[in-house]
Amino acid sequence: MGKIYSTDKILVYVGNDENQVAEMMELFLRTIPAELEKLENEIICGNWKKASEISHRIKPSMEILQIENASGEFMELHTKLHQEIDLETIKPLYENIKLNSFKAIAQIKEDYHK
């Protein structure tokens, strides 16, 4: 199975410095799983304003890693939370994002936690 995330944008940002990429990936691993769990809790509670705030913090990481079947969907989720529209679609959309994000997190751990 190929990688479901990409470091291409990060490499451009850090001038192809693999050490900085590794540092950014470690930071991602330390912060994003917990943020995704917080986001899920707010979605379950229907606290759309707080969920929107959390999604805003996660958004740059999701954009830069280009996670298959998660990054684009995350932007859609963020928009829906921010505008409080199509709220009935948020929970299933989040579940798909969570599944694919944690697959990417597992791959990142394999690639950068050596």
| CATH number of the domain residue 97 falls in | 1.20.120
Q: Is the residue at 20 inside a domain?
A: yes
> Does residue 54 form part of some domain?
yes
Number of domains present in the structure of the chain: 1
Other Cβ atoms closer than 10 A to 42: 18
Residue 2 covered by a domain: no
> What does each of the 114 residues of the chain score in pLDDT, given as a tens digit?
689 999 999 999 999 999 999 999 999 999 999 999 999 999 999 999 999 999 999 999 999 999 999 999 999 999 999 999 999 999 999 999 999 999 999 999 999 975
pTM above 0.85, yes or no: yes
Q: With respect to residue 1, please indicate whether it lies within any of the assigned structural domains.
A: no
> In this structure, is residue 71 part of a structural domain?
yes
21 in any annotated domain? yes
In a domain, 3, yes or no: no
Cα dihedral across residues 26, 31, 32, 34: positive or negative: positive
Domain range for 99: 8-112
Please give the structure tokens belonging to residue 96.
């798909």
Give the pLDDT score at 40: 98
